[in-house]
Amino acid sequence: MAHNVLVIVGSLRKEAFSLKVANALAKLAPPSLKLNVTTLHGISFFNQDLEANPPADWLAFRDKIKASDAVIFVTPEYNRSIPGVLKNAIDVASRPYGQSSFLGKPVGIISNSPGPLGGVNASMDLKKFLPGIVGPILGQPEIYITNCGASFDDKGNLTGEALQKVLEQYLAAFAAFVDKQKK
């Protein structure tokens, strides 16, 4: 049986590279993984005052995570960190305190940038604050996609053979990591 993996796209932009990468991952996934891509559209701002009676959009997002066996974050880098929309979604899903929807879920992190660093700072920031609110985080291989715009055609299809190979290798490693964690 395939593991259900929620792929969380850290950008709201319609033509986001993160969305293109996430969709490519879903198409390349091995049979042992079923990837479900989700965007963060419609998730309202976290406000601790609302925890007693959380909005429906919070509950729906938390339920998506709880229904998954694992999570992959695909994020761009904004101002040397993750986008605010992704941090907000993580705050929504990790609350109330001690009841994170991510608990026990194996996690993968993929960052990307049209520039030469591939979003390495965004990835490192996620690795800094996710421990304690998620399950184990895949440490190797690390994946920082540089110059990502050149790997997709105008319809969002993956055309870069080198990136395809990297994504396939990452998915194979992530599948093995999830299998190990779920035994």
| DSSP state at residue 115 | S
pLDDT at 74: 98
Q: Which helix (H) or strand (E) holds 75?
A: strand 70-76
182: confidence class by pLDDT, cuts 50, 70, 90:
confident
Q: Hey, what domains does the chain have and what are their CATH numbers?
A: 3-182 (3.40.50.360)
Residue 95 three-state SS: coil
Q: What amino acid is encoded at 170 in this protein?
A: Y
The token duo for 117 is 């660093």
Segment 46-75, tens digit of pLDDT? 999 999 999 999 999 999 999 999 999 999
Segment 99-158, tens digit of pLDDT? 999 999 999 999 999 888 889 999 999 999 999 999 999 999 999 999 988 999 999 999
pLDDT at 5: 98
| DSSP state at residue 175 | H
Q: Which helix (H) or strand (E) holds 78?
A: none
Cα of first residue to Cα of last residue in the chain, in angstroms, is 13
Residue 120 three-state SS: helix
pLDDT at 80: 92
